[in-house]
A and B are shown apart, each in its own frame.
Chain A
């Protein structure tokens, strides 16, 4: 999934504007750089441009704490949709199989322990 040859180049904050002024290197030899600023990854060019790279989404790897070290009330490094998927996965794993309903499925064996 993640390949070393197909990635953007990290820059320290402020380096992009510094490099921009240097004519010989301001195109970063054709690769795209990025800075991390205020919770965003800001790229050195518009990679969404349909006439250019036309990239609409990126993959990221972030360094986070081991999940086991998060406390019960610490904010987990999960997006909302990831959280929903995690819940669905665990519920489907632990959800007991419902008893067959003999009124609609006459072929099923009658349950030994009927629900109360």
Chain B
């Protein structure tokens, strides 16, 4: 849809005049146009461009930087692309497209896919098995009281800890510690690990 000032003005005018034919015009066209211009500037968060850049290149006067948020990106021939929301002024070195960066607004509904469950199974000091997406896990040593990994970032985790010298035994007899915590990247235990102790951490 092509948007012009006249189109915006007529849309606003028809909405203001609508509903009550005898109401008559209660607004001045010039006032509506001024409000429209202000609203557009607010929407685009416009700011004037410096006329002379540090590189001594000159940008014509009367140009502004306009912000556009949450422009969808789509896959394209093995790469990805985003459609320009408006045609920028043509400047040298494609400077009309002044900035492109990851969206920060978060207004686009994003379909999220659950992260794979990551399971860390360790016999402290002897073996470590990680299943799911490979992540760096640190702290799985005797004497440590913390286990940290980006895998635990804002995740809930199940923890099983017990004195099981043989890897592979499922410690579900209730004598072990089984809990659910929300980890940041760090899980802190009340007592230090000892060599040979079994530890299983699983993200939920």
Contact = CB atoms under 8 A, between A and B. Distances in A.
B3 A78 contact: yes
B95 A63 contact: yes
Q: Interface residues of A toward B: which range? A: 35 or more
B54 interface: no
Interface residues of B, number: 77
A48 B74 contact: yes
B191 to A, nearest CB: 38
Given A58-B102, A65-B63, A79-B86, A87 B2 contact: no
The interface residues of chain B, by DSSP majority, are classed as mixed
Contacts of A10: 93-94, 97, 100
B143 interface: no
A61 interface: yes
Interface string B63-99: 1111111111111101111111111110101111111
A59 interface: yes
A89 interface: yes
Contacts of A1: 67, 69, 104-105
Contact of B85 (A43, A79, A96, A115): A79
B27 interface: yes
Interface stretch (B39-47, B153-161, B171-179): B39-47
A64 B32 contact: no
B85 to A, nearest CB: 5
B15 interface: yes
A56 B108 contact: yes
A71 interface: yes
Interface of A: 1-3, 6-8, 10, 12-13, 34-36, 39-50, 53, 55-80, 82-83, 85-87, 89-91, 93-96, 115-116
Interface of B: 1-9, 11-12, 15-16, 20, 22-23, 26-27, 31-32, 35-37, 39-44, 46, 48-49, 59, 62-76, 78-89, 91, 93-105, 108, 110, 113
